[in-house]
Structure 1
Amino acid sequence: MIERLFSFTLRSLLAQTDRNFSVILAAHDVPAAWHDVSCKPGFHLIRADWTPEPPTSANDDGGRKKWLIKQAVRAGVGGLLMFMDADDWVASDLVEKVRAEMRPCHLGAVVRSGFALDYASLRTAPFPIAGAFNGPFHALCGSCTIGRIVATASETHLLDPHEALGSHHEWEARAAQGGFPLAYPATAGLYMVGTGENHSETHGPFARWRRQVTQSVRTSGTLLDPEMARTFGQSLNTLRTSTAG
């Protein structure tokens, strides 16, 4: 299942209309789909060299991997950094829209719009999800923020915008508090639920509520159509085969 989900996430990245970006994967094991892109320019692997421990509500393993990625960006020339979970998708115009709409004054960007997709039923619902979650996409899905890292800066917020702005659901409030301008690119993300692998559905104090959100999408959402699948670089037929298997 993890291999399938990662392959779909990778497809959404490979479908970008603007190919001026890099992908850094931090992982203990190398997914099979990575071998198809590992020799491509801009695709980099960082091996997580510690022994994986059982998941916790704090998701410490994910935090350590994000730190490795952030250090790699700092050690280079800096740039715009978006953390992505390996089961979420981005629209094919994400890089294009972010590069066009972010200005030097912006500490970061937030993707406000998006959809939840139940893997089991291939039913989808836009945010806010009626009767289940009244907030925007970025309040629930962590694959939604882009920080500007200036490797040569002395200001801590430029060296580490993610630390300055906190968790994804805090970005707007903390940016307003600190006086940090944000951009809002007109693109969308997709939050995958119902896989059995989503950390938020299985760990932490809100796991039961997250499963209720999934159930709402599964019962009240509309079936994913080919056009929407293509928006995120996917083939509906391939998705159907995957879920059937």
Structure 2
Amino acid sequence: MFRGVLLILGFFLLSELLNLSLLNWLLTRLITVGLLAVVVLFQPEIRRGLEQIGRRGVISSQFRDLGKEELYATVHKLVDAVDDFSSTRTGALMAIECETMLNDIIETGVVIDAEISVRLLGNLFYEGSPLHDGAVIIRGIRAYAASCVLPLTDRSNIGKNLGTRHRAGVGLSEVSDAFVIIVSEETGAISVARNGTLRRFLDLKTLEKMLLDIYIPSVENKNLVSRILKGGKKDD
């Protein structure tokens, strides 16, 4: 394809130099149609790039402004909450905001701006809770909004047996750099979506490593939260 583009451009320049008006006219029209075709073919990628540029912020700086103990504790609470959701087969959808601001997503839900805890997340995703539908948006060490609506992916290759929760997680990861955690209410399986890729059937140790990479990138994956935080009791 790249060679074809170069060939067309070469003929176009040659027609300009030799004053071949008819060939120049045809190549001009061909280039115009080609540009339109590129826009149509790569429309999702172009839209995704523009959205990320427009929504780019300094949210990740909040991780650097916090102490490591707070960040470790947050990862610990998230893993414990996911453990509870998985064991009880409670459906959950949580999106951790990274560089791309999720203000437009937050506007679809209810702002709660509360410190993360296992009890809080459990109450939010409890089936009888008015906020259990939709996603929880996590900003730094706080659960910032609940019952948020995420964009659904239109891809057909992520699994026909996956429902709205997984499609929403992948959809958000396609238009932002958010780290999305998904727990299936049917099987209790843990999945993660990021950069348009869905990883399924994760264990808690792998999830811990991935969360540490987000909250404290300098920490090696082998340093698990459970080894750093003393005591195995779950946070309330």
What TM-score, normalized to structure 1?
A: 0.24
Larger helix percent: 2
Larger-gyration structure (1/2): 2
What TM-score, normalized to structure 2?
A: 0.25
Query: With CA pairs under 8 Å and 6+ residues apart, which has the higher RCO, 1 or 2?
Result: 1
